[in-house]
């Protein structure tokens, strides 16, 4: 690999794989936290996506002295005023896994808003660099919550029927999801600021 090192401030394997794909066209050598020697857990102080993304990026960068990219994302149910939002990964407690949260969300929507299943994915990404001000960008995509379909992606992807694709993110090929996802759109906006040094044909 070539390029300057960039640490991804996440221990979520799905996010790690996705960000490595999304950053493939940029001049970075992407490192996981373990590869950068960052052992500490990264706190998410909230209350919003940007707060969490920034906190993780700043903490990871400070721990290893390298640029770090943090993100926070969630799914928001239109009829439930954006719930669970930034709590998407935590609302069922620390012992719940992806399958538990997915089933729980579907049950809650069926109970509380069965006639309106509109949802959106939201993401904030933050780039922290030693000696420079951090940069934050946001992205979103819309869909409808459906019974799970497909085995691709992670989190709520199998039940997120994408408005753009007409299939769930769980059914989508990686390249198709990467063209329209909330994280991809946030990174595009980050690239527009010039900090990602985008290569021709990249985001």
Axis crossing angle, helix 13-22 with helix 182-192, rounded to the nearest 10: 40
* 167 within some domain: yes
Angle 106-112-114 from CA coordinates, rounded to 5° = 65
Number of domains in the chain: 1
How far lies 172's CA from each of 161, 175, 176, 180, in Å?
A: 10, 8, 6, 11
Q: How confident is the model at residue 2 (pLDDT cuts 50, 70, 90)?
A: low
Flag whether 200 is in a domain.
Answer: no
Q: Which domain CATH number covers 181?
A: 3.90.950.10
Any domain includes 202:
no
* Mean pLDDT over the full length of the chain: 93
Of 45-54, 116-125, 186-195, the poorest mean pLDDT is in 186-195
Instruction: Establish if 203 belongs to a structural domain.
Output: no
What integer pLDDT is reported at residue 202 of this predicted model?
A: 36
Rounded to two decimals, what is the model's pTM? 0.91
Q: Give the residue-averaged pLDDT of 11-40.
A: 92
Q: What is the pLDDT of residue 201?
A: 40
Q: What is the pLDDT of residues 78-131, one digit of tens each?
A: 999 999 999 999 999 989 999 999 999 999 999 999 999 999 999 999 999 999
Give a yes or no: residue 88 inside a domain.
Answer: yes
Q: Is residue 39 part of a domain?
A: yes
- pLDDT for 160-185, tens place per residue? 999 999 999 999 999 999 999 999 99
Can you give the chain as a three-state secondary structure string?
A: CCCEEEEECCCCHHHHHHHHHHCCCECEEEECCHHHCCCCCCCCCCCCHHHHHHHHHHHHHHHHCCCEEEEEEEEEEHHHCCEEHHHCCCCCCCCCCHHHHHHHHHHHHHHHCCCCCEEEEEEEEEEECCCCCCEEEEEEEEEEECCCCCCCCCCCHHHEEECCCCCECCCCCHHHHHHHCHHHHHHHHHHHCCCCCECCCCC
**Residue 113 confidence (pLDDT):** 95
What positions carry a catalytic annotation?
72
- Does residue 122 form part of some domain? yes
Flag whether 59 is in a domain.
Answer: yes
| The pLDDT value given to residue 198 | 39
Domain that holds residue 157: 4-192
Q: Is the pLDDT of residue 145 over 50?
A: yes
């Amino acid at each position: 690999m070539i390029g300057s090192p960039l640490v991804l401030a996440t221990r979520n394997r799905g996010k790690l794989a996705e960000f490595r794909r999304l950053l493939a066209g940029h001049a970075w050598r992407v490192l996981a936290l373990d590869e950068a020697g960052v052992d500490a857990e990264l706190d998410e102080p909230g209350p919003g996506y940007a707060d969490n993304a920034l906190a993780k990026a700043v903490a990871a960068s400070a721990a290893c002295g390298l640029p770090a990219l943090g993100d926070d994302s969630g799914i928001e149910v239109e009829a439930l005023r954006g719930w669970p939002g930034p709590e998407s990964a935590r609302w069922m407690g620390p012992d719940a896994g992806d399958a538990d949260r997915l089933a729980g969300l579907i049950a809650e929507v069926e109970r509380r808003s069965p006639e309106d299943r509109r949802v959106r994915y939201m993401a904030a990404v933050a780039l922290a660099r030693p000696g420079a001000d951090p940069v934050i960008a946001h992205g979103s995509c819309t869909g409808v919550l459906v019974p799970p379909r497909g085995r691709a992606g992670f989190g709520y992807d199998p039940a997120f029927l994408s408005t753009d694709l007409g299939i769930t993110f769980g059914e989508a090929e990686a390249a198709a999801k990467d063209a329209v996802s909330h994280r991809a759109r946030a990174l595009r906006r980050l690239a527009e600021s010039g900090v990602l040094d985008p290569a021709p044909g990249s985001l």
